[in-house]
Structure 1
Amino acid sequence: MNGFEIVVEVAPELGVFVGRRGESTPVRVDGVSSLGHVVESMGVPLTEVGGLFVQGRATPPAYVPLPGDRVDVRAVDRPQHIPGAPLRFLLDVHLGTLARRLRVLGVDAAYESTDIGDPALATRSAEERRVLLSRDRGLLRRRELWAGAYVYSDRPDDQLRDVLGRFAPELRPWTRCTACNGLLKTATRDEVADLLEGGTQRSYDVFAQCADCARVYWRGAHHDRLEQMVADALAEFGAQGTPSD
């Protein structure tokens, strides 16, 4: 087999992708493929790479490795800044709970409730300039993707902390519809009376309504649990930045 070996050291934070933590690994390369391709072939999505260094020098993914190269694959810095557009997210079909929790916190989080396929998701990410969140490594390798991030846990509580810690989005709780991601506006009882059952009309005075889908919200039975989630998020991550109009 033609080619030669280089030595690649993957950051401990990326060990989940390669089955080891912070070890130097000999990797056989063909002398033609780019370093980015080599790293992805090892299992590490480039969305998770904060920098590639060869002999200690910062190197682009397009670089073609040479004999004797020693490569350092570093994780992304946190918080991670995504230039080029306001911070907005797109979540795949498997992250519905995370999408709803982000929306409760006022984070712009589009979500596909049906499986529309990887090409369509990546294309939507590019067209709307949204950071695609997924646990699918293959999806995160698609070239048409605008920006993406791997969600490291399968537990919603940890997923939320992961995304908030990585991207530090502005938190504006109770401003988005958990059903469609639209913005909420305050509403009087009379304005939404036709959409409420009699018991709800009599029991509550404060309402909000989605400007897009018209869904009505009030402080119902599950509100205390959501209040605690919001309080925990604000205590750990704070309200980032200044709310915009």
Structure 2
Amino acid sequence: MNGPEIHVEFAPGLRVFVPHGRRSGPTPVATDGSSTLGHVVESLGVPLTEVGALVVNGRTVATSHLPAAADSVEVRAVERPQPVPGAPLRFLLDVHLGTLARRMRLLGVDAAYESLDIGDPALAARSAAEQRVMLSRDRGLLRRRELWAGAFVYSTRPDEQLRDVLGRFAPALRPWSRCTACNGLLEEASKDEVAEQLEGGTRRSYDVFARCAECGRAYWRGAHHQQLEAIVGRAVAEFGSK
């Protein structure tokens, strides 16, 4: 690049995306004279889904802003909680986030999940068609223009991933209302209605059941319920049940 040189400073939370040499204070960046500021920021490694505001010489500008020589650019992180205008708040998770998807569903958050690697174009198209926030650790996917909305999942640990998403988007929590297998809504069911899914010990030991309205899967407070209650309890205590 041989166009105007600008100085760019990234918010601390965004420095994970940029080379080490650009992580401390304003650093010079050579531009090509025709690329937008949004393109320049993405070329430095930061998905625009993670950018809350671009401030040039003290003034907030759009991603379409054309940088000029000696511009001082501040790249801020998204505000938390992040508003998502338009459709009801719904999510789509890629193939690598299955545990996060199940935990979000456990809390009653609408979280669609692709268990197969269907490719970035198909994921982006589904995000747009269903107006879902795409959650991924794939920066290339989050740069696709057809996405309706997206967010980078910063951690590789499910507990931290869940806290990150809940803190960023503040979805309403309705624990025990969704099927963790397919994301469908749960409804009360009698023992007779789910009898074919129960083994003898379960039939004798439990009397309260729910069933998914979509896939028909039966639920009851089984051996793993205490562990699931702990996940729900931590999330509700920190983020509230709205």
After TM superposition, the structure 1 = structure 2 runs for residues 16-27 of structure 1, keeping only pairs within 5 Å, are 16-20=16-20, 21-27=23-29
Instruction: Give the match's secondary structure for 1:84.
Output: coil
Distance 1:193 1:94 in 2: 34
Distance 1:19 1:132 in 2: 25
Distance 1:189 1:4 in 2: 72
Which 4+ residue blocks in structure 1 deviate beyond 4 angstroms? none
After TM superposition, the structure 1 = structure 2 runs for residues 30-109 of structure 1, keeping only pairs within 5 Å, are 30-109=32-111
Distance 2:94 2:84 in 1: 19
Look up the match of 2:180: 178
After TM superposition, the structure 1 = structure 2 runs for residues 1-245 of structure 1, keeping only pairs within 5 Å, are 2-20=2-20, 21-240=23-242
Distance 1:140 1:168 in 2: 20
Instruction: Give the match's secondary structure for 1:64.
Output: coil
Identity, in percent, stands at 73
8 A Cα contact 1:11 1:22, kept in partner: no
Distance 1:36 1:211 in 2: 44
What's the offset of the Cα at 1:22? 4.8
What's the offset of the Cα at 1:2? 2.7
Instruction: Give the match's secondary structure for 1:58.
Output: strand
What's the offset of the Cα at 1:222? 0.5
- Which stretches in structure 1 are left out of the alignment for 5+ residues? 241-245
What's the offset of the Cα at 1:19? 3.8
- Deviation string 1:195-215 (CA, Å, 9 cap, x unpaired) is 211211111001000000000
TM-score w.r.t. the length of structure 1 is 0.96
TM-score w.r.t. the length of structure 2 is 0.97
8 A Cα contact 1:164 1:237, kept in partner: yes
- Deviation string 1:100-122 (CA, Å, 9 cap, x unpaired) is 00000000000000000000000
Look up the match of 1:243: none
Q: Give the residue type in structure 1 aligned to 2:14.
A: L
Q: CA RMSD in A?
A: 0.9
8 A Cα contact 1:105 1:173, kept in partner: yes
The number of aligned residues is 240
Distance 1:22 1:174 in 2: 45
8 A Cα contact 2:4 2:67, kept in partner: no
Instruction: Give the match's secondary structure for 1:209.
Output: strand
